[in-house]
Structure 1
């Protein structure tokens, strides 16, 4: 169920405007994060010019 995730070895499913990012084994589902679809995932890396 779900599509291949943005991050390696994850899956993603979209439910009522939310993105659920998860991984699983044979007997366990690990919910990594639940994000509203208007937010960016993964978060962009901030760069500072010094």
Structure 2
């Protein structure tokens, strides 16, 4: 990857819809669902 590739990816990311930019990418980014996503809970074991 070079300087221009990195800059282009940043431009694409800025142009993405807000929902796409705010979407959680990992389970750790979900807030308020500890009873489902906590350590050793249902979705963590799946």
| TM bracket (short chain) | under 0.3
Larger Rg: 2
Say which structure is richer in strand: 1
Which protein, 1 or 2, shows the higher relative CO under an 8 Å CA cutoff with sep ≥ 6?
1
